[in-house]
Structure 1
Amino acid sequence: MPLSYPKLRVARPTDNILLVKQFYCDGLGLQVLSSFTDHQGFDGVMLGHPQAPYHLEFTHQQGHRVGRAPTADNLLVFYLPHAVEWQAAVQRMLDHGYAAVPAYNPYWDERGRTFEDPDGYRVVLQQAAWDL
């Protein structure tokens, strides 16, 4: 029997679920895969692409504050190997009003652009193949 690979869910709380959803959907082009309201005091949304082996989940617990990212080096890195695809992704972020920020680690500025979401977490659009 061949091995299967797990799907990855990155889950993170937020105080700004609507702004975060807008950043990742409008800016990055992710889609709403699922959502829920008042599930044992939590609201949430899952974002991604239907065929991708990952998705992002953002939750908000009613009456609870989580604050901003603890450092500027909390990253999600999206590898986009084709220059045209990478430029389109960067332009989409800019067109939706998200300005690039200098990367905390200058390595990411060599072949990528970094953007900060409404919670202070950062997304790198890296113009490179993932060769690992």
Structure 2
Amino acid sequence: MAHPLILPMAAHVALASLLYVLLTVTRAPKVWGIGRRSDGSNPWAAVEPRISANLSNQFEWPVLFYAACLLLMQNPSESVAAVALAWIFLFGRLAHSGVQIFTTNIRLRGLVFTINFLATLGLWALVLQLRSLRAA
């Protein structure tokens, strides 16, 4: 049976995949001429850089989320706290993506990022706790 941390990890992969699709669609008018306005402009020009930046963000802090999850998955017992923190991370990432793509509110984006930040720190606290228990 698969470890329960796999599901939030896979959901984050799905989010990154969706962002690739959105980026491709928003770049289509410029790259392929598909969906251009009658004046030749790209109707997605304002949102495309925000999608691109958000996609890049999916390969920054989340790397620490994946590392913590992989280390926690080596433990034979499943931690309810770890699974809860992983789902909190995912929902925080979804909220962060929505705020970054659909608004220009940097203050709100920072607040929403805090959800991901704290959830990942919580996962790492669990990793360190497991390591200290094994060493004892």
- TM interval, shorter chain, is under 0.3
TM-score, length-scaled by structure 1 = 0.24
- Answer 1 or 2: which has greater helix percent: 2
- Return the TM-score normalized by structure 2: 0.24
Q: Which has the higher strand share?
A: 1
Higher Cα Rg, which structure? 2
